[in-house]
Amino acid sequence: MASRAEPADAGGRRDWRDVARDAADLALLGILLTLAAAPLLTAAAAVSTASAAVHTWTRTGSWPSARATLRRFGGAVLPGVPVSLLALAVAGLLAADLAALATGRVPGGPPALLVTALVAAGLVGYAGLVVVEVGGGARWRTAARTAARACLDAPTRWAALSGVAVLAGVLAVLVTPVAVPILAGYTVAALHAVAHRLPAPARAGLP
């Protein structure tokens, strides 16, 4: 992956070739993320590694080396297995619940479907912030606690992250399957952009 450290022109605009290169880099990131997550149990490791790469890119203008990325992924596989299992279980339960409500197999109707959809959106927004925290170097448990506090401190940012995740899910359904891996890279980058543009206020007395 290339660097994006080239200076902008006098008007603050970046050359279109730099923008195109960034787009290609994010597409490649999404493809590699999807391939690494394909075994499912490595999903958390793949996501955390991709998030760390985006974290480095947004701060330095350059992507981490392939060796550093592979080393991080290898070290994240075992700690990420419980996270992968938990995420798959929660996603499966929510999907089954939404499908049952939408088809009328369980009582509740539209109100219950709406509430469940809002809960699902909130959870994916929270999960998105956890991914951003992990990309910044936090462990999964620490990232989960930090993200929970941040969501409570800044509901607007929580809602924005939920919107990003929901939009990504809608696009994943609408686009052709071959484009879904590309979308993954853009989604990770969008989560980082929103989380850093809308920082949570500091809480006095808390570490």
Q: Of 190, 188, 180, which Cα lies nearest the Cα of 51?
A: 188
Task: Name the average pLDDT for the chain.
Answer: 88
First-to-last C-alpha distance (Å) of the chain: 36
- For 92-146, the pLDDT digits (tens) are 999 998 888 888 887 777 888 899 999 999 999 999 999 999 999 999 999 999 9
Question: Does the pLDDT at position 60 exceed 60?
Answer: yes
On whether the CB atoms of residues 49 and 84 are closer than 8 A, the answer is no
Please give the Cα distance from 148 to 206 (Å, whole number).
Answer: 13
Task: Return d(Cα 86, Cα 72) in angstroms, integer.
Answer: 21
Maximum separation of any 2 CA atoms in the chain, in Å: 61
The whole-number pLDDT of residue 166 equals 93
At 14, is the pLDDT very low, low, confident or very high (cuts 50, 70, 90)? low
